[in-house]
Structure 1
Amino acid sequence: MHTRRDTRLPADRPDIRLIVTDMDGTLLDADGNVPAGLWPLLDELRGRGIVFSPASGRQYATLAHLFEGVDAGMVYIAENGALVVRDGVELSSDPLDPAVSARLVTRVRQLAEQGGDVGVVVCGKHSAYTERGDEAFLAEVRKYYRAHRLVDDATAVDDEIIKVAVLDFGGAEGSAPALAEFSDTHQVVVSGEHWIDVMNRTADKGAAVRRLQRQMGIGPEQTMAFGDYLNDLEMLDAADWSFAMANAHPEILGRARHTAPAHTDDGVLRTIKDVLGL
């Protein structure tokens, strides 16, 4: 762990080999779209031998759709680090015990029976699965899980489960304590205003970045990372060039070494250009 030491950028250009960025509240604009300026920047980065890596709680299918046709050499860190894919090939994954997934589904069912406006998304390698089928819930699910199926029993899906996500319309930070029984053995991460992700303790964006660094033969000093929310903490720790967005959660602002302009102000793109001198 490190804390922010200096928000000023040095005059010397660093030898960056890997750029990792969160999506929602970080790279994506206020409307949830990839900024148009990223497309020519990707060509520039590829020409310089720099790997670009979207790192998100979103599933791989959703990320791959966003960058379809322009993702040669790109590394997708999906499901908050539980699945990493490059050029269609899985680099790493960290599956959940099916019994744990089933216990989580049962717990969320209980919360719903007690009056909570909640729903569960069981995240497999091939699809996401949900038992709740009302349009308000599915509209939120579609934003992050392009491949999703409505099932009668989410404890009995035929897939390798890598994460369980809970959507709470009442606010994720308030409902996270209801999942405290899992926090001794697993990660229970508030990944957005209404989302909680539960994964293996060994699965997070930071662990995925460190594995990728080893595979690439690079270190934190050659890595840039951008984030805005609590599920980005470990990822920022894995990069010497760590940037909190100006709109970030206070804990992120206190953890990153540098600050970037807000996601509504093209903060990721502007910072990459400034640091690399583009």
Structure 2
Amino acid sequence: MMNVDIRAVALDLDGTLLGPDHKVSPFTIKIINQLADSGIACIIATGRSVGVLRTGGDFPSHMYAVCLNGAQLAHLSEEQPLEETFLPEPLSRAVTETFAAHRHHLHAYVGEKLWCENANMELLGKYGPQFQRLKIFEYIRFADKPQDRILKFVSAGKEDLLDPILADLRKRLEEIEPGFSKNLYANYSMPGILEIQDSRMDKGVGLARILKRMDLGPEHLLAIGDGNNDVPMWELAKIPVVMSNSFEGLKQRGYYLAPGNGEDGAAQFLRAWFHLA
């Protein structure tokens, strides 16, 4: 491999570390622990919340985590998140009112909870069995709740269904203040899963903050992912790696290519890169 000083590895979850069964394999955990023993930190970089990570209980406690695409930073050994960046209240309220007007379901991450008026089982099935544990949920009516501590929204549906809702949302944001729609991040982390956040926060921003805590820089980072929300961390990292099960357009960006998540592809790539036994 090329002569670079990699001291940290950022790892997406869905479609990357997690297999098609939404589980992390013993082989993958073995590789993560081997890297830690070699002085190389593994950092989870995910759209999921730290509460969901802890509910799953699959990962070693020595890991940092960039959660909710950078809006929540954590160390798995700590009870509370290290940092949280909330959406501006006008943006949050515009999102909830727009989705309500279109009568389309919407979930919101608030701390350790997932707010929802109606649980959408299609969405929950895509995210895995952790979401079946009701302690994650708080059933609410968005209109009755303060919306100044929301970290991320998520919804499910095909693009031809969600695109008109997003167009309406951008129009509402422009009515609040010209140019305000530029603060809207709306992208698909995987087919059918739409994430909505503040455009000023992403995995790259979150990872840069974690690296600073570790006295490291982007030149020390290798990042593996599979989705559109992984682009900012690929752009940050010295060594960007895309999974072979990723979108075709992402695989054409000229990054290193790892085998698919159905064959522990991320762990296989790391074993080869770092010459692990």
Q: TM > 0.5 between the two?
A: yes
The CA distance in 1 between the partners of 2:268 and 2:126, in whole Å, is 29
Give 3-state SS (helix, strand or coil) of 1:242's partner: strand
Give 3-state SS (helix, strand or coil) of 1:190's partner: strand
How far did residue 57 of structure 1 move? 1.1
Match of 2:49 among 59, 63, 72: 59
**Which residue pairs with 1:193 in the alignment?**
191
Indicate conservation of the 8 Å contact 2:89/2:148, yes or no.
no
**Which residue pairs with 1:150 in the alignment?**
139
**Which residue pairs with 2:97 in the alignment?**
106
One-letter identity of the residue aligned with 2:139? L
The CA distance in 1 between the partners of 2:146 and 2:130, in whole Å, is 19
**Which residue pairs with 1:84 in the alignment?**
73
In 2 relative to 1, CA 138–152 (structure 1 residues): closer, same or farther, beyond 3 Å? farther
**Which residue pairs with 1:206 in the alignment?**
204
In 2 relative to 1, CA 220–136 (structure 1 residues): closer, same or farther, beyond 3 Å? closer
In 2 relative to 1, CA 26–266 (structure 1 residues): closer, same or farther, beyond 3 Å? same
Indicate conservation of the 8 Å contact 1:230/1:251, yes or no.
no
**Which residue pairs with 2:166 in the alignment?**
179
The CA distance in 1 between the partners of 2:99 and 2:110, in whole Å, is 18
Structure 1: tracts of 5 or more residues without a match: 1-8, 113-117
Q: Does 1:163 align with 2:149?
A: no
The CA distance in 2 between the partners of 1:218 and 1:177, in whole Å, is 42
User: How much is the aligned-residue C-alpha RMSD, in angstroms?
Assistant: 2.4
The CA distance in 2 between the partners of 1:81 and 1:144, in whole Å, is 20
Give 3-state SS (helix, strand or coil) of 2:108's partner: strand
Scaled by the length of structure 1, the TM-score of the pair is: 0.84
Match of 1:19 among 9, 24, 31: 9
Indicate conservation of the 8 Å contact 1:120/1:131, yes or no.
yes
Indicate conservation of the 8 Å contact 1:124/1:159, yes or no.
no
Indicate conservation of the 8 Å contact 1:122/1:154, yes or no.
no
State which drifts further: 37-46 or 267-276: 37-46
In 2 relative to 1, CA 136–166 (structure 1 residues): closer, same or farther, beyond 3 Å? closer
**Which residue pairs with 2:242 in the alignment?**
244
One-letter identity of the residue aligned with 2:209? R
Give 3-state SS (helix, strand or coil) of 2:82's partner: strand
Scaled by the length of structure 2, the TM-score of the pair is: 0.84
How far did residue 194 of structure 1 move? 1.6
Structure 2: tracts of 5 or more residues without a match: 174-180
One-letter identity of the residue aligned with 1:82? A
How far did residue 83 of structure 1 move? 0.4
The CA distance in 2 between the partners of 1:95 and 1:272, in whole Å, is 34
Indicate conservation of the 8 Å contact 1:21/1:54, yes or no.
yes
The CA distance in 2 between the partners of 1:155 and 1:97, in whole Å, is 17
Q: Does 1:93 align with 2:84?
A: yes
One-letter identity of the residue aligned with 2:101? Q
Count of residues in correspondence between the two structures: 260
In 2 relative to 1, CA 240–160 (structure 1 residues): closer, same or farther, beyond 3 Å? same
The CA distance in 1 between the partners of 2:64 and 2:33, in whole Å, is 15
How far did residue 82 of structure 1 move? 0.8
